[in-house]
């Protein structure tokens, strides 16, 4: 519980007098009005990065799936690197990489919950690496959630379009890749002790 509160943040908790939080660049934030005003544009820039990365990842995933459905579905796979990498259109009712096909609705709810959590984190976001990581997660979650809602067989039960097929590995899509890359980046940032608000903690 304490770890969750540290990452997500607690609303408007006053800092003790004379305390200046340290950020990842080694600077401190003045708790006076001037410092608060200076921090607001910085926070808005990080939020802009988050949604910019998310929009790019989402658009790339959406466009790639439209091309796959139009040009590759019901056609033989396209070999990219011999047998090692192919483009093959597959409808996946499960989670990333084809796991858990019996729980499509649950995965839809989880994707929606991830989006809500990221939206809450955005209000305390002052770290550029965290903005990129959360943007990748958001874009990937939105990409697969769009399939869940709008593709057959029905709303919240739609099958995700996968098409990247490495040899001896599950077939996946660009949204899955964005989610995995965002998750790996978050793990690395956590190991370094960097929080979404830009502060560095030492356990």
Which are the catalytic amino acids? 162, 176
Closest-CA residue to 134 (of 72, 48, 66): 48
DSSP string, 132-144: HHHHHHHHHHHHH
| Packed helices 33-71 and 174-192: angle between N→C axes, nearest 10 degrees | 150
User: Which segments of the chain are extended strands (E)?
Assistant: 78-81, 85-92, 160-166
Q: Pairing state of beta strands 85-92 and 78-81? A: antiparallel
For residues 59 and 54, what is the distance between their CA atoms, to the nearest angstrom? 8
8 A C-beta contact, residue 85 and residue 166: yes
Residues 6+ apart with CB under 8 A from 192: 200
Which residue reads 């990409």 in tokens? Answer: 143
């Amino acid at each position: 519980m304490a770890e969750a509160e540290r990452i997500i943040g607690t609303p408007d908790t006053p800092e003790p007098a004379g305390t200046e939080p340290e950020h990842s660049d080694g600077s401190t934030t003045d708790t006076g009005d001037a410092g608060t005003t200076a921090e607001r544009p910085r926070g808005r820039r990080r939020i802009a990065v988050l949604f910019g990365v998310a929009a790019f990842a989402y658009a790339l995933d959406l466009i790639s799936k439209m091309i796959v459905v139009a040009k590759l579905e019901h056609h033989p796979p396209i070999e990219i690197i011999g047998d090692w990498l192919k483009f093959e259109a597959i409808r996946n009712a499960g989670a990333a990489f084809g796991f858990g096909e019996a729980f499509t609705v649950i995965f839809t709810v989880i994707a929606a919950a991830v989006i809500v959590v990221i939206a809450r984190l955005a209000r305390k976001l002052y770290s550029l690496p965290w903005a990129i990581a959360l943007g990748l997660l958001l874009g990937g979650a939105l990409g697969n959630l769009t399939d869940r809602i709008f593709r057959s067989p029905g709303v919240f039960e739609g099958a995700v379009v996968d098409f990247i097929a490495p040899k001896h590995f599950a077939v996946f899509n660009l949204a899955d890749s964005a989610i995995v890359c965002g998750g790996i980046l978050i793990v690395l940032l956590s190991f370094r002790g960097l929080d979404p608000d830009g502060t560095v903690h030492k356990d």
